Structure 1
Amino acid sequence: MTDGYLTKGRAIYGESIGVLVLNTTFPRVHGDIANARTFDFPVRYKIVTQATQGTIVTEADKARVLLPHFVEAAQELEREGVSAITTSCGFLSVVQEELAAAVTVPVVTSSLLLLPMILNMIGKRKVGVVTANAGVLSEQHLMLAQSAERSRVELCGLQDCPTFRASILGIETKGVAGFDIDLIEQEVVAQCQKLRQANPEIGAILFECTNLQPYARAVQKATGLPVFGIFHLIEMLHTAVRAPSFDGEC
């Protein structure tokens, strides 16, 4: 600013967080990262049209193949004025380094970036990572440098849950008519309960899948465990780039 005047402007202001979104068609209910009402602040979305859940979530290295498209979209978001960037798919952790290097604003590709922090929070207990597809989630996705840390991670996949499989993964499944939020919640809760029962040493749950936040309360109630996800990472990111104001009084 010069003498109280802005010297250069843009067409749109006020969207601090930019989200790179996969090209999907399933409903984005309140709580989902791609539902703007999920957040108490404005976000800016950019659809990467070449990327679908049928590619990114079903093929471990597809995100790297599509990296140029994600880089282009991230750079567009930066030019449009966002102060930080995230994505709508936890499997994009494999391109965290490349995306972060492509722009000058902070980038968090996945809730899996929270994994080391959570492991440090819960002593020697384990973290249950709930993922859209456990068969595709690789060691590279987890981004854990130490083998001892990996031994404290238990995966819970949703790829065989009929309603989730058909609705979110987009895989045709016999007997599933369409998106049913109640049935998806039941499947997610049931899988988390099985995970908890099989691994009583688990001290926290981390949602890799960004579509799971609407079911966090039910999972928390059913397991008695803290539940983390991309929602928390974005909230933290937002307060880092738009620090709240305090009155300084006691």
Structure 2
Amino acid sequence: MQQGGKTVYGAAVGILMLETRFPRIHGDMGNAATWDFPVQYRVVDGATPDRVVRGDPQALTERFIAAGRDLIRAGCDGITTTCGFLSLIQEDVKAALGVPVATSSLMQVPMVQALLPAGKRCGVITISEQALSPAHLTAAGAAPDTPVVGTDGGRAMTRDILGNAPQIDFEACRLDMIDAGRAMVSRHPDVGAIVLECTNMAPYARDLRQVTGLPVYSIYSFITWFQAGLLPRRFPLELDDPRW
């Protein structure tokens, strides 16, 4: 006999979306075709990119909690968001929802740091180096002196994402990301791996890997891992023998 209690089954990950209008290409967290598994979405009213990154996201905590509860009622077993700056609300949202919560890609930093040899550090590429503070890093469990490089001052990435532009030159964004990767290895030669704070940066992870030669971790790598625990894959209990 199967256990009930949900409305939707098989879509364990719930994604809390910022209120945006910019296009979301394949690889972006907000493009459902990015994922190899079903996900559910809810938009958090009033949570614009600029307000979350350059303002105080803690003023929106109750809105994120309400939308998260709605996703849980719909059948989600874990909740995530679409902005790394929301690490500041991780503890409050986690406590209120009572399920696993991954508000920020920055939460990968301590895990990646643990993988690196002595003398190497994990660096972060962010949508706004100016706005990303030691408090954001600390809230994610990362060292407050983690090396950070932003796409501020680039061609399009920061301007159009935070400006919520209806059209984006994604090739210009790719070049901004490549510039940020090169700046990271130039300014911080002790960096041994990179975590992408912004969830819109995942489509450029492979470019960064090629340019820097370093492992690159994004929200895609994080939520793929997150989902694997919420809905583990079933394996057959027999040997895969070609003679059978």
TM-score > 0.5, shorter chain as reference: yes
* Counterpart pick for 1:198 among 171, 182, 187: 187
Identity across matched positions, percent: 36
Aligned-pair CA distance for 1:229: 1.4
Distance in 2, Cα, partners of 1:168 & 1:58:
12
Residue by residue over 1:79-117, the C-alpha shift from the partner in whole angstroms, topping out at 9 and shown as x without a partner, is 111011000000000010000011121100001111111
- Do residues 246 (structure 1) and 235 (structure 2) align? yes
Counterpart of 2:181 in 1: which secondary structure?
helix
Aligned to 1:110: 104
Letter in 2 for 1:74: G
Change (3 A) 1:74 1:129: same
> In the alignment, which residue of structure 1 is the partner of 2:242?
none
Residues 75-154 of structure 1 mapped to structure 2, 5 A cutoff: 75-123=69-117, 124-143=119-138, 149-151=143-145, 153-154=146-147
Q: Point out where structure 1 has 5 or more consecutive residues left out of the alignment.
A: none
Deviations 1:117-141 (A, max 9, x none): 1111112312220011111111121
What secondary structure sits across from 1:66 in the alignment? helix
In structure 1, what is the Cα distance between the partners aligned to 2:32 and 2:195? 22
* Residues paired across the two proteins, number: 238
CA RMSD after TM alignment:
2.0
> Aligned runs of 1:222-237 on 2, under 5 Å?
222-237=211-226
**Per-residue deviation, 1:210:** 0.5
> How big is each residue's C-alpha offset from its partner over 1:48-99, in whole Å with a ceiling of 9 and x where there is no partner?
011001201112xx21011111111111111111011000000000010000
1:166 CA displacement: 2.8
Rounded Cα–Cα distance in structure 2 between residues aligned with 1:186 and 1:227: 16
**d(CA) in 1 for partners of 2:102 and 2:4?**
30
Per the alignment, do residues 22 and 145 of structure 1 end up closer, same or farther by CA in structure 2, a change over 3 Å counting? closer
Q: 1:47 aligns with which of 43, 48, 52?
A: 43
Q: Distance in 1 between matches of 2:141 and 2:126?
A: 21
Aligned equivalents of 1:146, 1:183: Cα separation in 2: 32
- Residue of structure 2 in register with 1:158 after alignment: 151
1:54 partner letter: D
> What is the letter of the counterpart of residue 116 of structure 1?
P
Stretch deviating more after TM superposition (217-226 or 115-124): 115-124
State the secondary structure of the residue aligned to 1:30: coil
One-letter amino acid of the counterpart of residue 208, structure 2: V
SS at match of 2:122: strand
Superposed CA offset, 1:128-160 (max 9, x none): 20011111111121127999x444x21101122
Distance 1:145 1:66, change over 3 A: closer
Does the 8 Å contact 2:49/2:163 carry over to 1?
yes
Q: Is the 8 A contact 1:84 1:107 kept in 2?
A: yes
**Aligned-partner residue type, residue 13 of structure 1:** Y
Distance 2:95 2:73 in 1: 15
- The answer to whether structure 1 residue 181 and structure 2 residue 170 are counterparts is yes
The residue that corresponds to 1:64 in the other structure is: 58
Cα distance in 1 for residues equivalent to 2:203 and 2:164: 21
Equivalent pair of 1:127/1:203 in contact (CA under 8 Å): yes
Give how far 1:7 is off.
Answer: 5.5
